[in-house]
Amino acid sequence: MKIVEKAGKTVDEAVDLALKELNASIDDVSVEILEEPSKGILGLIMVKQARVRITVKEDSPNRAVSLLKEIFRTMDLDVKIKAVENEKTIMIDLEGPDLGLLIGRRGETLDSLQYLVNLSVNKNQEIRKKIIIDIEGYRDRREKTLQKLAEKLAEKARQRGRNVVLEPMSAQERRIIHTALQGRDDIYTFSEGEDPYRKIIISPKK
């Protein structure tokens, strides 16, 4: 839990100083006023400054955002982070220049980052929420690409009458392929192998 105490001429000034140090917004923290400012004779001389204690809220979205900010600060990356929470998931979208390195080959780096954040934020939590991290709509574009690939390879398997084996994919990407083809009655799909080399086979029905 991050806690910062700051002093300023006014309460607002002290709060602003604390927020800048924490790199947080007012919605991310709770504010405790330790001392109100006061002035001396005729109100001309500042006798006592305002003092506040700022505590970063420890809910799951804020823990996830704080962890990502620390990672990106270490990597010297300028990243805008937006987190939206619903009943079961926390959706985090990242925006910024040159974020291709965070996506990696076929999204492998992004998946690893997502796994790390899920592991850290949900550790020792009674209520666990799935955290999905995306970069400027990459996952939606990747899903559409995989759906088109699935249909293309399904046609190949049907026309040639033999199995088509895809490259190893993550569980999330395999799920997209299975879902895209589950309504067809001329082919079926199954997975074989062990992660991270588990792959999908598209097989024609005979």
Q: Give me the CATH topology for the region 60-136.
A: GMP Synthetase; Chain A, domain 3 (3.30.300)
Full-model pTM:
0.66
Nearest to 96 by CA among 54, 138, 61: 138
Quote the distance between the C-alpha of residue 203 and its chain's center. 35
Residue by residue, pLDDT tens for the chain (206 residues) are: 678 899 988 899 999 998 888 888 888 788 899 988 887 666 566 678 889 999 877 778 888 998 999 999 999 999 999 999 988 899 999 999 889 889 998 888 999 999 999 999 988 777 788 999 999 999 999 999 999 999 999 999 999 999 999 999 988 899 999 999 998 999 999 999 998 889 999 999 87
Rounded Cα–Cα distance for residues 200 and 193 (Å): 9
The upper half-sphere exposure of residue 32, i.e. CA atoms within 13 Å in the direction of its Cβ, equals 9
Say how far apart CA 132 and CA 105 lie, in whole Å.
18
State the CATH class of domain 140-204.
Answer: alpha beta
Cα–Cα distance, 4 to 17 (Å, whole number): 10
Distance CA 87, CA 70 (A): 26
Per-domain residue ranges for the chain? Answer: 3-56, 60-136, 140-204
